[in-house]
Structure 1
């Protein structure tokens, strides 16, 4: 096979990067693969739009059928986004024996397992390394480089927008609303930032990571998710005074055959590698039984970093075609889906309370925690915003989520507690 023909769905930021890399690195890629890669068709919404890349006019089409039904096209690269319509398009492509490369984490988190099974049935490859952490080859590292290990835990900063915002809030003392506007002005955040700031984008990526790492079919709805909207400068200041940095962290762990996946604001020790990751960069920290601790770091988004991952996947597809092993990479999950119950989910917690500043108040609060066998590693008590009030900031030892929820429920009915100001997970101190 002297030439591989590619259909490209989408010519936005990532699609433009893919075209540039295939053009600029044409000879290098041909030397590595032993054959040439040629874009045959590009699916776009607007045929007349000016592009940031030199492209043949007869490549462009607004009809998906010209890609997925064209017998001459070997591989479909999907970088246009969307879920349901895109899923139908890729299903049709697989049924027509076309290999798929996608950067669509939303699609893969929702329909990925079904698409992988369909690809295997049709002896096709579907690779999606670019869907998580942009230019960082984390999915391939989990499926290949760390394949022989037993992965116990993954912690990651997998959303560049929120990491940029948290960096600005911590380093410059800016409020959430200010940093959100700045992120939107710079193009890091969308006009509707919900998927980023509420943690949904990170949850989709953590679903994909957990599926690969634990060899278990987990679903997006299995992820406990909370975002960064309610983080205040006071939270950041208290965390700092206790030796922590707040980040939006995705955490996946598996113990005794049961998995837990969360995305939530998390306090990390200031010297933890993830605490040092700034601005829009991503990083994924992996704990393996044999390898120990490893970290993958780099740009989590952008035209060329993400496009590099897409083209690397494309080259892997071409290698498989030439070797005659297409469709053999996917392996069905090894383990049945089992999730930890609240009594099996253990972590430390940061708790901030507004209480009446009166004799015996602190004792009443500690009695409730003692009742549920919750002990503390750190405690601060400071004057509150109003007269005769105080703020209590506590960091627990490792407790179960069940212990935490039961304690919180009791605190809400306690007269001396005016309100629970904030509560965050504490991690990274194993």
Structure 2
């Protein structure tokens, strides 16, 4: 039996985890006889080469994707502009591709999948979403006879860590962010995480698997966590809620509603008990009703384990002499909910030096539960649409001595 040769694009946190798992030679892996033989890295040092004596290190990425002896290319280097042509070239060269690159796959996943189909190779990317949680394989295989109505979860560990510190340690947003950066959970520029872009990219991929649609980033209603304060958590707790950074894709009357935002979540809900850098995903469906999965959202071995799951699928197909099945069928036309169709209860937070909650609500002509104190006003509205929310924002802007802090959706 000829061994299956793997080429890595990237040998950092995730790439080194892939090598470590393969070297343990677990029985399910040993029978496949798959080995990393070449890896493209930024720099080569004697110490690094000595650490991987059986792997040829190169700084030339084309040396991996053009190598006729490599069967599977595993991309864990990140990036879009320079990485997409490499994956495209690898597929055209007849190589199976595994990727952990959510940014690239949220934008180019459909094109690469079509190209893989044309060249009879596999394109798998479990590690691109939710780290160690096998959500894409679950959506692709476990719901063939079921109808999914909603996928919701905590898709960004950095944001969840920050909000955990705010609610458990009483930290301010700035203090919690600084701790996340010190621990390596947040980048020096945390925009991608704290403004919801990372979670939005993941939500696009989840929507592809759950609903067969290919929405764009502009279809996602996105709001970051940067305006949250400890007072928000205190007010939410009065009404039995906590605040979690959720990504939600919900199908209602055939219309897909995509939201990435801090949400008020009932304190008794499973998602409210997911803390620190952990991720979670909840699937609602007609037959199965509801399941929730949790696990580490990042890290060397957790993410590498998802890469290995894809590797087993593709390597097993190679051993069986068959073409790997397409990872996902995204042929359903997009039907994106309009502003009138996006409806939820809202948590409205205002600031005023002179108005109390009941006065502000009367001026704005909105009902619901209210709390005020120390210049802050909190209103829990009945269910209203995005259109009505935008009208409310206009009223706030026209009301003297009343400033909008934020409006958060309430998860039900």
Asked if residue 68 in structure 1 is aligned to residue 58 in structure 2, the reply is: no
Corresponding residue for 1:3?
3
Contact 1:161 1:196 in 2 (8 A): yes
Residues 162, 356 of structure 1: CA spacing in aligned structure 2 closer, same or farther, 3 A cutoff? closer
In the alignment, the residues of structure 2 paired with residue 58 and residue 420 of structure 1 have an alpha-carbon distance, to the nearest angstrom, of 57
Asked if residue 411 in structure 1 is aligned to residue 396 in structure 2, the reply is: yes
In the alignment, the residues of structure 2 paired with residue 224 and residue 253 of structure 1 have an alpha-carbon distance, to the nearest angstrom, of 12
Corresponding residue for 2:180?
183
SS of residue paired to 1:343: coil
Corresponding residue for 1:388?
none
Corresponding residue for 2:21?
21
1:337 CA displacement: 1.1
Aligned match of 2:384 in 375, 399, 402? Answer: 399
Aligned match of 1:198 in 175, 189, 195? Answer: 195
Corresponding residue for 2:370?
379
1:295 CA displacement: 0.4
Corresponding residue for 2:128?
131
> Greater CA deviation, 140-149 or 159-168?
140-149
Residues 19, 174 of structure 1: CA spacing in aligned structure 2 closer, same or farther, 3 A cutoff? same
Root-mean-square deviation (Å): 2.0
In the alignment, the residues of structure 2 paired with residue 90 and residue 14 of structure 1 have an alpha-carbon distance, to the nearest angstrom, of 18
In the alignment, the residues of structure 1 paired with residue 364 and residue 65 of structure 2 have an alpha-carbon distance, to the nearest angstrom, of 62
Asked if residue 420 in structure 1 is aligned to residue 404 in structure 2, the reply is: yes
Corresponding residue for 1:211?
208
Contact 2:18 2:308 in 1 (8 A): yes
Residues 94, 18 of structure 1: CA spacing in aligned structure 2 closer, same or farther, 3 A cutoff? same
Corresponding residue for 1:112?
109
Contact 1:157 1:248 in 2 (8 A): yes
In the alignment, the residues of structure 2 paired with residue 123 and residue 421 of structure 1 have an alpha-carbon distance, to the nearest angstrom, of 52
1:383 CA displacement: 3.8
State the TM-score, normalized to the length of structure 2.
0.95
Corresponding residue for 2:347?
350
Segments of structure 1 that go 5 or more residues without pairing to the other structure are 386-390
1:28 CA displacement: 4.1
Corresponding residue for 2:85?
88
In the alignment, the residues of structure 1 paired with residue 46 and residue 370 of structure 2 have an alpha-carbon distance, to the nearest angstrom, of 59
Cα-to-partner distance string for 1:131-161 (whole Å, 9 max, x where unaligned): 1111100011001112321111111101111
1:52 CA displacement: 10
1:354 CA displacement: 3.1
Residues 106, 358 of structure 1: CA spacing in aligned structure 2 closer, same or farther, 3 A cutoff? closer
State the TM-score, normalized to the length of structure 1.
0.91
Cα-to-partner distance string for 1:43-101 (whole Å, 9 max, x where unaligned): 11101174499312761011122211111110000111111111000000000000001
Residues 262, 162 of structure 1: CA spacing in aligned structure 2 closer, same or farther, 3 A cutoff? same
Contact 1:354 1:421 in 2 (8 A): yes
Structural mapping, 1:253-272, within 5 Å: 253-272=250-269
SS of residue paired to 1:120: helix
Asked if residue 303 in structure 1 is aligned to residue 288 in structure 2, the reply is: no
In the alignment, the residues of structure 2 paired with residue 134 and residue 298 of structure 1 have an alpha-carbon distance, to the nearest angstrom, of 8
1:414 CA displacement: 2.4
In the alignment, the residues of structure 2 paired with residue 49 and residue 205 of structure 1 have an alpha-carbon distance, to the nearest angstrom, of 37
Corresponding residue for 2:365?
369
Contact 1:198 1:227 in 2 (8 A): yes
SS of residue paired to 1:203: helix
> Greater CA deviation, 40-49 or 288-297?
40-49
SS of residue paired to 1:344: coil
Structural mapping, 1:257-296, within 5 Å: 257-296=254-293
SS of residue paired to 2:380: strand
1:221 CA displacement: 2.4
